[in-house]
Chains A and B, each alone.
Chain A
Amino acid sequence: MNNFSYTQASTAKEATNIRKDAKDAAFIAGGTTLLDLMKADIEQHPQLVDINMLPFRGIELNDGSLRIGAMERMSDVGENALVLQQFPAVSEALLLSASPQLRNMASIGGNLMQRTRCGYFRDTAFPCNKRNPGSGCPAQQGDNRNLAILGGSQACIATNAGDLAVALAALDAVVLLENAKGKQRRVPLLEFHVLPGTTPQRETIIEADELIVAVLVPATAQARKSHYVKVRDRASYAFALVSAAVGLDVQGGQIRAARIALGGVGTKPWRAQEAEKLLVGKAATEENFRAAAAAAVRGAQPREHNRFKVEMVQKTIVRALQELMA
């Protein structure tokens, strides 16, 4: 860990202006990701800009969308009555994340910015294209049990390990950003994270001088009837081996709209649109769920140790849909 200075920002402008000029500076919210990365010498920031005082607060329904302020804590959002009732997958994804202590500290904005748990990335003694571009990706031939089967490249196969982003990906959420000029833009969650391609060090489209202000989730029928299932190596406090967020709008026994997003398998929160299409207009039967699940993993490229994910994620999709209909 290096020496750093610490500044508390009282306005968004103050914070973004610092980053505009000093790209090495970092915003700090809950610090649960950032401090780990700095202690392990994976990131070095000469300056930390504390954004906890910013008024990016509130969990409310506005113009047909749930608006979650970026500074809200995971636990507060997960336990919020509105979220619980109308966006159950969001609540479940949050409450199945990390530990109570971490959820009490961690913010929604920080959660979307969390970095991969790839063990090579987390240890500076290893080569890793994401941490040290051009140094190689030992995971391809190495320990890749936790890594992605979808969206990988020659350069990187690390998963996006977050849970919340999977639920948000399923429910067509939008990320609200604001830059140093005070200009805001809305980016669909699905476009917020990017594929590794040849530049795995680049994980999101956020610019250095931009802050996440809020996350917006349309209040739809499929959001109200949504569900998140996470499979992991122990009962709590572990990242997903695989996970699935699903939402259905079923009327008169027929699926009108379907949403499926996957975690633990993709290099970014993975939306399975082909699978969704297969469900629309069909009955909510196990057979149809299975067919959809099979479509969701088409094109998967498993490696030596993560082959199991191909089957496990299909079963997880089916499980999530079944539980949703139960």
Chain B
Amino acid sequence: MDTEPTFFETNGPGTGGVVGLPLDRVDGFAKVTGQAKYSAEYRLPGLTYGVLKTSAIAKGKILSIDTAAAAKEPGVLAVLTHLNMPKLAKTPNDAEGKKAIGAPMGFLPLTSDQIHYAGQPVALIVADTFERATHAASLVRVQYAEEKPIGSFLDPKAQVFDPEKVQDGKTPGHTRRGNPQDALAASAVQLTATYVHAINHHNPMEPGATTAVWEAPDRVTVYESTQGVTRTQKSVATMLGLPQEQVRVITKYLGGGFGCKGASWPHTILTVQAAKAVGRPVKLSLTRPQMFTSMGHREDQTQTLKLGATKEGKLTALIHEKTSTTSPWDNYAEPNSKIINLLYECPNFESSYQLGRANVMTSTFMRAPGEAPGSFAIECSMDDLAYQLGIDPLQIRLLNYAEKDPSNGKPWSSKSLKQCYARGAELFGWSKRNPKAGVTREGRYLVGMGMATASYPVHNSQGTARVRLYADGHAVVQTGATDLGTGTYTVMTQVAADALGIAPDKVRFELGDTKLPTAPNSGGSVAAGTVSSSIYMAAQDVWQKLTKLAIQDKKSPLFKAKATDVVVEKGRLVLKANKAKGEDFAALMKRAEITDMEGSGAGKYGSGYEAAQAAANADPTKKDEAGEHSMHSFGAHFCEVKVDAELGTVRVTRWVSIHGAGRILNAKTARSQIIGGSIFGIGSALMEETFRDPNLARYTNASLGEYHIPVNADIPEMTVEFIDEHDPYINAMGVKGIGEISMVGVAAAVANAVFHATGKRIRSLPITPDKVMNSLAV
């Protein structure tokens, strides 16, 4: 058999008629009837409840912990502290351990008496009911030796330094192309602007939750609210010193994640250890306030962007500097500069990162990490340039349109941005916009229109899937991916239905278990691309096996045909040249007396796929370009706001988002993703902010009552469309992710609309009424 899979092209990826349809969620019924079990909903025999007691101070030392009163409470099984927590084989407390574990944070609480951030767990109480555990936690008395904490990088005592690398070494701290300083100095137009971002928290509906049960002294099952079962498995196994296969991680449903469930945070391993300590299953669900100090956040940050341009509006130089807060141990900063480096044609570019250590827990990826704040800076500055030169904001973007990736000179694998601009402008009525800012009024409202570009990279990723096609016409499809609630169950059912030529209701799709074939984390918008191609490849494997069977079977109409002459059409194996000749897979299987056929496949997303498969799929005229592409999704957002001219309140009144993101697997779930991401972005633009007491380094609004996210009344009707885009280089299915691009550029589109309404530029997010009112007063 060929090592390169033959592509059954008549059926082709996603052409079976099911992919793309707005199919209702296949898991919808289970969810609305409560049958869908989330990680904290497994009622295991002997289940006990874990509750975290967290630190009241942000910096210092635990002098003593009095657990006697708590331990005496009825039903209390254990009060675990740094003094009696079972020891681990490895902790992330040193660099080697952190790397081996893949921990987001270089510190594990309950391993020492040191306090580094407010909300750090200091004890874990296990009891037979949740209420008893919660009450007992309130009885634990901790004596601290308190030191003055550092609140943020803005604290005069914060040590601000050049980290050389950020994001655990993944992103260089300095990037440079051309000669940006000289180019800027020589530019006809020079703009410098500083952008400020508040701390944001992910706050998925479902909090972080772990249910751990030890099946044997050396074997544990963890029901975990995670975006990646394999990553959690590896983390937990490494910390316990167990072989990976002795840790099973199950995540059947997730109530959102947005990045905070992308890595394994301390509460997971602490729960696993607590289960060991009490010899019973333990369930621990973080409280909403604990969600603010347990699973990362988007860091507070300042960006300075210097922009040079010709007087015709062509970019000549971009210099970007970011300073942000990080934890006492990690050099985390979301990589804002990446998008600034590639969004527009610009010959000279430079970026650098600075970090300030403070008493906070580590920040982490949050929906479009880097791209979200980075796009805010570049897209507001592009708007400034447009107004400065009297050029339409959309026009200035076309003027600087990047036909190739400016950061590396590679051609794009596909880019439909011009179509996005054009379609968006048409649907929005961009041409009706008054070119002047601050002049359009409707009663007491100032009306503004703004737009911004969106872009998100295709991160390289790979995964595997298994398909079992039964003679009776149904199939079981399995992969260890997770569904954040965004529709993975549904779209993968569609992919499998098409790839197998059966109806979607004949597909049983299973995910979220380390026992299943490995799939990547659902993060970085890789799930749709990787998992769909894995399933497609696994189906190809089934067809190859069946083809082999047919051409060796005397009774088959395909007997002695060449394998490469056989194609599959809606579940029928037929001759490419004569499609009347062939047979149904069911007939073939029955004759061969087999009940089913299993296939497995490895799917790739991004350049890994391209290098191996481009020749088979790509436009033959572009064959030489295989392995030489820059891969991104692109899009454009258009926003109208009404600003109360006296009180400063801002309402988004119209919204149009158009994206080019490869093949769209399900029109309905894709639209929901874009709507969700846009609302997420509108939240960050107008209201999301975690406030912190600067002296005590502790959050003051850690609840959904006071941490504002948009409510229905904040959101208008939204228009969402996709440009038909065929990208042969991305993966077997031609799918790009859409989870993150949906929020890139959103804050800028809103801010640009506010500027157009008021003529005043607000560069500090969120754009709350007080800031707008103050801006209008000057």
Q: Which residues of A contact B (CB under 8 A)?
A: 1-3, 40-41, 117, 119-120, 122-126, 138, 141-143, 145-146, 231-239, 241, 308, 311-312, 315-316, 318-319
Evaluate contact between A143 and B711: CB separation under 8 angstroms: no
Evaluate contact between A122 and B703: CB separation under 8 angstroms: yes
Q: Is B415 an interface residue (CB 8 A)?
A: no
Please tell me which one of the listed residues B691, B695, B703, B713 contacts residue A138 in the complex, with CB atoms under 8 A apart: B695
Evaluate contact between A315 and B647: CB separation under 8 angstroms: yes
Please tell me which one of the listed residues B695, B702, B769, B774 contacts residue A142 in the complex, with CB atoms under 8 A apart: B695
Interface string of B691-735 (1 = CB under 8 A from A): 111111011111101101011111000000000000000000000
| CB closest chain-B residue, reference A121 | B700
Evaluate contact between B700 and A143: CB separation under 8 angstroms: yes
Q: Determine the distance from Cα of A312 to Cα of B644 in the docked complex, in whole angstroms.
A: 12
Which residues from A are CB-within-8-Å of B695?
138, 141-142
What are 26 pairs between A and B in contact, CB < 8 Å? A1-B131, A2-B138, A3-B135, A124-B56, A126-B698, A138-B696, A142-B695, A142-B696, A143-B700, A143-B701, A232-B769, A233-B769, A234-B686, A234-B687, A234-B713, A235-B651, A236-B712, A236-B713, A241-B770, A308-B773, A308-B774, A311-B777, A312-B647, A315-B647, A319-B646, A319-B647
Closest CB of chain B to A239's CB: distance in Å? 8
Please tell me which one of the listed residues B693, B696, B770 contacts residue A308 in the complex, with CB atoms under 8 A apart: B770
Evaluate contact between B691 and A145: CB separation under 8 angstroms: yes
Q: Determine the distance from Cα of A141 to Cα of B695 in the docked complex, in whole angstroms.
A: 8
Interface string of B510-529 (1 = CB under 8 A from A): 00000000000000000000
Which residues from A are CB-within-8-Å of B687?
233-234
Q: Determine the distance from Cα of A145 to Cα of B774 in the docked complex, in whole angstroms.
A: 14
Please tell me which one of the listed residues B57, B647, B692, B700 contacts residue A231 in the complex, with CB atoms under 8 A apart: B647
Q: Is B289 an interface residue (CB 8 A)?
A: yes
Evaluate contact between A123 and B714: CB separation under 8 angstroms: no
Closest CB of chain B to A100's CB: distance in Å? 11
Q: Is B768 an interface residue (CB 8 A)?
A: yes
Q: Is B118 an interface residue (CB 8 A)?
A: yes
Q: Determine the distance from Cα of A123 to Cα of B56 in the docked complex, in whole angstroms.
A: 9
| CB closest chain-B residue, reference A145 | B691
Evaluate contact between B770 and A312: CB separation under 8 angstroms: yes
Evaluate contact between A143 and B691: CB separation under 8 angstroms: yes
Q: Determine the distance from Cα of A92 to Cα of B14 in the docked complex, in whole angstroms.
A: 54
Which residues from A are CB-within-8-Å of B486?
none
Evaluate contact between B138 and A41: CB separation under 8 angstroms: yes
Which residues from A are CB-within-8-Å of B692?
143
Which residues from B are CB-within-8-Å of A2?
135, 138
Please tell me which one of the listed residues B702, B705, B713 contacts residue A123 in the complex, with CB atoms under 8 A apart: B702
Q: Is B649 an interface residue (CB 8 A)?
A: yes
Q: Which residues of B contact A (CB under 8 A)?
A: 54-57, 118, 131, 134-135, 138, 289, 646-649, 651, 686-687, 691-696, 698-703, 705-706, 708, 710-714, 768-770, 773-774, 777
Please tell me which one of the listed residues A1, A40, A238, A312 contacts residue B135 in the complex, with CB atoms under 8 A apart: A1
Q: Determine the distance from Cα of A117 to Cα of B705 in the docked complex, in whole angstroms.
A: 9
When A and B form their complex, which 10 residue pairs have the shortest distance between CB atoms, in order from nearest?
A119-B700, A235-B713, A125-B56, A308-B770, A236-B713, A142-B693, A143-B700, A315-B646, A143-B691, A235-B714
Evaluate contact between B649 and A120: CB separation under 8 angstroms: no
Which residues from A are CB-within-8-Å of B56?
124-125
Evaluate contact between A312 and B702: CB separation under 8 angstroms: no
Which residues from A are CB-within-8-Å of B55?
125
Q: Determine the distance from Cα of A232 to Cα of B710 in the docked complex, in whole angstroms.
A: 12
Evaluate contact between B708 and A233: CB separation under 8 angstroms: yes
Which residues from B are CB-within-8-Å of A3?
131, 135
Which residues from B are CB-within-8-Å of A315?
646-647, 773
| CB closest chain-B residue, reference A309 | B770
Which residues from A are CB-within-8-Å of B134?
1
Which of A142, A232, A239: most chain B CB closer than 10 A? A142
Which residues from A are CB-within-8-Å of B693?
120, 126, 138, 142-143
Which residues from B are CB-within-8-Å of A1?
131, 134-135, 138
| CB closest chain-A residue, reference B696 | A138
| CB closest chain-B residue, reference A142 | B693
Closest CB of chain A to B416's CB: distance in Å? 34
Q: Determine the distance from Cα of A232 to Cα of B708 in the docked complex, in whole angstroms.
A: 10
Please tell me which one of the listed residues A40, A234, A238, A316 contacts residue B647 in the complex, with CB atoms under 8 A apart: A316
Closest CB of chain A to B735's CB: distance in Å? 35
Closest CB of chain A to B720's CB: distance in Å? 21
Evaluate contact between A234 and B691: CB separation under 8 angstroms: no
Q: Determine the distance from Cα of A125 to Cα of B118 in the docked complex, in whole angstroms.
A: 9
Q: Determine the distance from Cα of A234 to Cα of B695 in the docked complex, in whole angstroms.
A: 28
Closest CB of chain B to A75's CB: distance in Å? 17
